[in-house]
Amino acid sequence: MDVPYNHQQLLKQAFDSLRPPLTELLRRLNPDWVIYDYASHWLPAAAGRRISCAFFSLFTAATISFTGAPGFVDSRSRAEDFTVAPDWVPFESDVAYRLHEITKYVEKTEEDSSGPSDQIRFSVAMEESDAVIVRSSPAFEPDWFDLLDRIHEKRIVPVGFLPPVTGEESDEGGSAVWGEIKEWLDEQRVNSVVYVALGTEVSLTREEIAELAMGLEKSGLPFFWALRRDAAAMLPGGFVERVAGRGIVYTEWAPQVKILSHDSVGGFLTHCGCNSVVEGLAFGKVLILLPMINDQGLNARLLAGKKLGMEIPRRDDDGSFTGDSVAATVTATMVEESGEPWRSAVKAAKETFGDGEKNDRLVDNLANYLQDMKMGLCKKTI
Ligand SMILES: O=c1ccn([C@@H]2O[C@H](COP(=O)(O)OP(=O)(O)O[C@H]3O[C@H](CO)[C@@H](O)[C@H](O)[C@H]3O)[C@@H](O)[C@H]2O)c(=O)[nH]1
């Protein structure tokens, strides 16, 4: 969290230096399977042919489908090409980037200091795997799972949402910190508080922070805003004092899961990172969508299409938004009658995202699959 986004490639560079010791470890342990993330795209090569490799996608089935499909020529090169569904998507779909979300990636000129770009890491990690495990569920995105099955010649195994745990099972959020936050939340009305948090990688500009602050102030609703200290330093003068009592700006690592599990929280203004989305929906909170980087725009479209969240309107070219549009989206989703379909949709989705037993069944399926196919039997030869 403390590594600025523009220095993140250094983490990958450091990570790559694990290749020799990991290769040695794998040779010694000789496991049946290795499960890996996209950054270690070299793991299948390190594992060799005797160990099976499963790429674990933290991204949705829709995002993986949007990213590419073997057997289809990907002729996309301009930013505009990524603002529509790609050729291999056979059904109507809004899942695509907005111009402002993709331009910075397409026009990127600086080299990746770690060597391979994230895109290359991702596609090699997918291609070289024997199976792809997806942290999602066909109950949420049936069309996208069907499509993945059709376009990839390897097993695609949904593992469910791995919903968050609270209470004694969770050690998150030291008790003193949580005690104070809980005390404040206990004083608020049920479903009245907006929890605002933009994950671990997003950096807002001064203007974006000011508009967001103005919108929250104008909404008149109680809010709890987890904002890194460096970003909080850019808040407009007098804001914290004006909202005192009604709004909290919290500059430490927030116990997000515990906060979202509290009954006073009704909505979650989120950047649409996959973990936050699961955490919010597992507790039935309506989402207010402010995607900023990576897959977040695609997640926002997928969620908005299912009325699980409402996007804060922004200019297509530069992504700017106003405090008024923040306030209007927050109040619509949280309290106005027009937001009722969104509030009902998240209640209905709570089971899919949060039900432990339902999700555990998918984990069991995965475990059975790994057992059945162990010892390299699933190496695809087609
Ligand atoms: O003060 C904080 C801040 C964050 N969190 C937790 O940190 C996680 C953040 O995860 P996520 O919501 O996925 O955000 P990012 O870490 O910013 O997401 C990165 O990783 C995701 C996939 O894992 C992608 O979907 C995003 O685009 C990418 O930016 C969540 O579990 C939060 O509960 C806290 O508990 N307290």
Q: pLDDT tens across 34-48, in order?
A: 999 999 999 999 999
Sorted by sequence, the CB contacts under 8 Å of residue 60 that are 6+ apart come out as 134, 136, 141, 144, 274, 295, 298, 299, 302
| pLDDT tens for the chain, residues 1 to 382 | 677 777 888 888 888 999 999 999 999 999 999 999 999 999 999 999 889 999 999 999 999 999 988 888 899 999 999 999 999 999 999 999 999 999 988 876 565 666 788 888 999 999 999 999 999 999 999 999 999 999 998 999 999 999 998 765 555 556 788 999 999 999 999 999 999 999 998 999 999 999 999 999 999 999 999 999 999 999 999 999 999 999 999 999 999 999 999 999 999 999 999 999 999 999 999 999 999 999 999 999 999 999 999 999 999 999 999 999 999 999 999 999 999 999 999 999 999 999 999 999 999 999 999 999 875 555 444 3
Alpha carbon of 276 to ligand 1 centroid (Å): 6
Alpha carbon of 57 to ligand 1 centroid (Å): 15
Alpha carbon of 32 to ligand 1 centroid (Å): 30
Closest CA to 374 of 34, 12, 1: 34
- pLDDT at 104 (0 to 100): 81
**Complete edge-to-edge strand list for the sheet that includes strand 52-57:** 33-36, 52-57, 131-134, 155-158
Q: Give the closest residue (by CA) to ligand 1 atom 22.
A: 274
Rg of the chain, C-alpha, whole Å: 21
**Please, what is the end-to-end C-alpha distance for the chain in angstroms?**
41
**Residue 367: its H or E element:** helix 356-372
**Residue 353: its H or E element:** helix 340-354
Query: Are the C-beta atoms of residues 204 and 322 closer than 8 Å to each other?
Result: no
- Name the residue with tokens 């959020």: 173
Interface ipTM: 0.99
39 lines ligand 1 (CB under 6 A): no
Q: Is 150 exposed, middle or buried (0-12, 13-18, 19+ CB in 10 A)?
A: middle
The token pair at 147 is: 């499509």
253 lines ligand 1 (CB under 6 A): yes
Query: Are the C-beta atoms of residues 173 and 258 closer than 8 Å to each other?
Result: yes
Alpha carbon of 263 to ligand 1 centroid (Å): 22
Write the CA distances from 376 to 47, 54, 107, 158, 246, integer angstroms.
Answer: 11, 11, 41, 20, 58
60 lines ligand 1 (CB under 6 A): no
Alpha carbon of 228 to ligand 1 centroid (Å): 13
Ligand 1 atom nearest to 250, measured from its CA: 1
Q: How far apart are CA 360 and CA 115, in angstroms?
A: 38
Ligand 1 atom nearest to 293, measured from its CA: 27
Ligand 1 atom nearest to 255, measured from its CA: 35
272 lines ligand 1 (CB under 6 A): no
Q: Give the closest residue (by CA) to ligand 1 atom 24.
A: 273
- Long-range CB contacts for residues 365-374, cutoff 8 Å, separation at least 24: 365/157, 366/133, 366/157, 366/159, 369/131, 369/155, 369/157, 370/32, 370/33, 370/54, 373/52, 373/130, 373/131, 373/155, 374/32, 374/33, 374/52
278 lines ligand 1 (CB under 6 A): no
226 lines ligand 1 (CB under 6 A): yes
Q: Give the closest residue (by CA) to ligand 1 atom 19.
A: 273
pLDDT digits (tens, 9 = 90+) for 231-268: 999 999 999 999 999 999 999 999 999 999 999 999 99
173 lines ligand 1 (CB under 6 A): no
The token pair at 37 is: 């993330």
Phi, psi of 248 (to 5 degrees): -115, 130
Count CB-CB contacts under 10 A for residue 172: 14
Sorted by sequence, the CB contacts under 8 Å of residue 99 that are 6+ apart come out as 79, 80, 83, 316, 317
37 lines ligand 1 (CB under 6 A): no
276 lines ligand 1 (CB under 6 A): yes
Alpha carbon of 71 to ligand 1 centroid (Å): 33
Q: Give the closest residue (by CA) to ligand 1 atom 20.
A: 273
- pLDDT at 382 (0 to 100): 32
Q: How far apart are CA 361 and CA 363, in angstroms?
A: 5
Ligand 1 atom nearest to 253, measured from its CA: 1
Query: Are the C-beta atoms of residues 243 and 216 closer than 8 Å to each other?
Result: yes
